[in-house]
Amino acid sequence: TFYTNTTDYNAQQAAIADANFGVWQLKQAVSAQAFDSSQIQNAMVNRQLTSIKTVGINLTSDDTQKLSTLINNMNNIFSNSRICPFGNPSCNTSDPSQSWALDPDLSNIMAYNQSSGDYDLQTYVWNEWRKKTQPIKDIYPQFVNLSNKGAQQGGFADTGAWWRSWYNTEDPNYNFQQAIDNLFMQVLPLYEELHTYVRRQLRQHYPNRFSSSAIPAHILGNMWAQEWQNIFSITQPFPNKTSVDVTQAMIDQNYTPLRMFQTADKFFQSLGLTPMVDAFWNGTIMTKPTNVEGFVCHASAWDFFNRVDFRIKMCTQVRMEDLITIHHEMGHIQYFMQYSVQPVTFRNGANPGFHEAIGDTIALSVATPTHLQKIGLLANYISDTQQDINFLYKQALEKVAFLPFGYLIDQWRWQVFSGQTTPDQYNADWWKLRTQYQGIVPPVDRPDNAFDPAAKSHIDDNTPYIRYFISYVAQFQFYKAMCQAANHTGPLYTCDFYNNTNAGAKLASMLRLGNSVPWNVAMNTLTGQPNIDASAILEYFKPLKDWLHSENLKAGDCYGWGYAWDDQTLHNHRINLYKQHNHHTRCIYLYKQHNYTIDYNNHCQPNEYNYYSNHHSLISICTYEFKQHNHNNVYNCHTGQHLETSTSNLTNFKRLMFRWRGSIWQCVWKDLLIWLILYAMLSCCYRFILSDSDRGHFEDFVHLAANYTSAIPLTFMLGFYVSLVLNRWWEIFMNIAWPDNIAISIATYVQGNDESARIQRRTIVRYLVLAEVLVLRDISSSVKKRFPSLNHVVNAGLMTEEEQKMIESISINHAKYWMPIEWCCTMLRRIWKRRKLEETHLHTLVEAILQYRGNLGMLMAYDWISVPLVYTQVANLSILSYFGLCLLSSQYVAEGTESASSKPKLSTVRIQESY
């Protein structure tokens, strides 16, 4: 009742019911403890006893009621939140006619308002919804503490450990976390291809709106950027081809929510599976009630554990997306009905991910053009390569785009439950994971008190989420197994097992098992393999991945979003992202946002990420730092100084002399302060401590010191030293090697518009950049920090593994920056031999490259041969001696004596140079 009418009364009654169930469950666990499992030979009975003994959350009745109340309160905030329409911020949010609810209002805006002018509208909706759910942050730590208390009393380290235990097998060496990490790394190259293509399309659709290599989270067609199928129309690979979206056909054929449910039931029956029972049709809520405000629209399936009553709760709209969702939810119902023959203890999925995967397995068949034609929703559809790419692309926007989102939700929660993420870091760690795994960033600055996880209902109602990640991989294994049972031939993505009872029997054999066997045994029953593996989903999308790779290569786009996967992670999962993408360039992007920092060791490139344009212009590395902090941009350069001092006026001298950052005062204030203190001490001693005779001696020392200060040629020595250092600094700057001119010449002189010619042009410039990186690694601590080893240079896309081996194979004790220069010249010679480069241009380019190499050599030489130490020592000794004498010679002695203070020999500016 609570989820169909979220009133305070119903929330209280739900909490009481949860408490009563908890007490009953605990009693059953205590009773089960009386049995000695070692004395029971029946494996099924032992498995039931073990399940009954495992309470999970073990709390008293009062604490159970408190926990349920906390969850219901969070859910109540989520389900009853409404925002004011865009442009009307002072509306009455309690009035449905004046305000917008999440479903359908906000969801439809995020899904269907995709014109370039809707960018600000979607930003507003995205931000306002998170403001409304932010108060959940005050409740969530209480929930975490109480839930952890119950988990610990139930025998687990924390709630996350209890959730992960659902995926254990009988193999004691099985590591669930490692298994899902491996799954994610298997699908990461496919996701990066999709992300790279989508980012490029969105840049074109929203010109000048974003320049990061990560995508703003609000323009992906979904409030949570979890599935991207709603941006299909603005990113479609072949817009002139028929789209596999039957929404309009459903409307034209007068489909209703009831007919959509009947269509799904018919599919399951065609496989020989159990039809929906009368209680289902009588109890299911198909559309949102008009007289209930607090109705939770999120689709869900319910088992009332009496073997006859099964229901779905959903706010159905007549559209293809909801037709697929109905098949998903009815998959849950079919699972309920199939394992209803089992004891209550085993009436559950083999693991939670299996439950989610069943309906989606059916939906993969339902979504095929072949099936939609069979049921009369798709007409005049002729399959060809372009049509297939469109179909697979739309499927990928739903299935592939979801994978990192499904993976990271519980990664965040497990960190929260374990205490690794504290309440003050809730939002920072949330966005750290979303950027790391999804490659998305928030569209607006996040305030200190933000709690963006609460914008997702599964966080508020405490629904574990890793099940969805498991299901999105496993469903393709199930689908492939059923296609094999149906004797399907052809590409996997074309399989439709509608009306095939062999496929249905294969599925039912697993469904009937429920939780009576370990999940890997159930998996083996259907698929013939015990482990969850990504090979089926990669096979399904292989044509699309190949096409995306070709398009990304043509566009010269970089891969990723600036996050550098560490070498150990890639090695552990046997993944080489750079080999996957044919050594194509990795995006390098620095993203810093107020209240938290995600630093990806970036240099800025054109459009903020490495980009090879269609006109063959090649990357030009710049070195400014971009920071976003409270909407202020800070550039690490001297622009501010020049702006402040470039205008002549009466206050210019003051602004110049008293500017602190980068000034001489910042260097000498400590020394000056010490000198002034010593000066004051000597002066006080002279005036108040010394006797008359001693003052006479002191005055003699002052006169003597005044005579010797003129003996130190300070002006000459400092002038010589400063001139030497300044000239050296300028020469180093002038010898910095810039690849831009050579890159432009190569783009001009090297002929050919084919892919081979373009790759050759890029490779030559990459070698030039590589040579400079090898030099800068040796002379710059910042660059050395960015590239501590050659493996990091490889990971950045500046060098391939084969090239690394070639460099490492040369055993010399000197710099090897000359090797990429040699490769450049060799490649130019080959291009000249193929008559794609004129001889005069070859000489011009080689001379320019040799000049480039000479500049790099000079940088190495300046680093190797520094200013002789004796110069620095003599200069410092002279300055210290001079200022030491000035302590005496500058003293103001008694009137009538020759005071050194009357001679302007003191300079309060001490030049220090450490080079």
Residues with a known catalytic role: 329, 458
DSSP string, 84-138: PPTT-TT--TT-TTTSEEIIIIIHHHHHH--SGGGHHHHHHHHHHHHHHHGGGGG
Instruction: Give the Cα separation of 346 and 46 in Å (integer).
Output: 12
Instruction: Give the Cα separation of 789 and 777 in Å (integer).
Output: 9
Instruction: Give the Cα separation of 208 and 190 in Å (integer).
Output: 27
328 is in an annotated binding site: yes
Tokens matching residue 915:
């080079």
Buried b or exposed e, range 513-543, using 16+ CB within 10 angstroms? bbbbbbbbebbebbbeebebbbebbbebbeb
586 is in an annotated binding site: no
Instruction: Give the Cα separation of 327 and 336 in Å (integer).
Output: 14
Q: Are 706 and 903 in contact (CB under 8 A)?
A: yes
Distant-in-sequence contacts of 576-579, Cβ < 8 A, 24+ apart: 576/801, 577/188, 577/189, 577/192, 578/794, 578/795, 578/797, 578/800, 578/801, 579/801
Q: Is the dihedral of CA 352, 354, 357, 362 positive or negative?
A: negative
DSSP string, 141-173: HHHHHHHHHHHHHTT-SSHHHHHHHTT--S-TT
Judging by beta carbons within 10 Å of its beta carbon (0-12, 13-18, 19+), is residue 677 exposed, middle or buried?
Answer: exposed
Strand bridging mode 440-441 / 215-216: parallel
Instruction: Give the Cα separation of 531 and 523 in Å (integer).
Output: 7
Instruction: Give the Cα separation of 608 and 613 in Å (integer).
Output: 13
Instruction: Give the Cα separation of 668 and 671 in Å (integer).
Output: 5
Q: Are 453 and 459 in contact (CB under 8 A)?
A: yes
Close Cβ partners of 273 (under 8 Å, ≥ 6 residues apart): 334, 338, 504, 507, 508
For residue 215, the SS3 value is strand
Instruction: Give the Cα separation of 3 and 324 in Å (integer).
Output: 22
Instruction: Give the Cα separation of 691 and 309 in Å (integer).
Output: 110
Closest CA to 506 of 486, 488, 532, 490: 486
Closest CA to 617 of 628, 626, 605: 605
Write the single-letter amino acid at 7: T
311, containing H or E segment: strand 310-313
332 is in an annotated binding site: yes
Q: How crowded is the C-beta side of 600, counted as CA atoms within 13 Å?
A: 29
For residue 659, the SS3 value is coil
763, containing H or E segment: helix 755-779
356 is in an annotated binding site: yes
Judging by beta carbons within 10 Å of its beta carbon (0-12, 13-18, 19+), is residue 863 exposed, middle or buried?
Answer: middle
Instruction: Give the Cα separation of 347 and 550 in Å (integer).
Output: 48
Instruction: Give the Cα separation of 624 and 777 in Å (integer).
Output: 18
Close Cβ partners of 286 (under 8 Å, ≥ 6 residues apart): 257, 258, 261, 312, 314, 316
628, containing H or E segment: strand 628-629
Closest CA to 542 of 438, 403, 395: 395
- What's CA 273's distance to the chain center, in Å? 42
Instruction: Give the Cα separation of 302 and 141 in Å (integer).
Output: 29
Q: Which residues are annotated as a binding site for Zn(2+)?
A: 328, 332, 356
Residue ranges for the binding site? 167, 328, 332, 356, 467
Binding-site annotation, residues for chloride: 167, 467
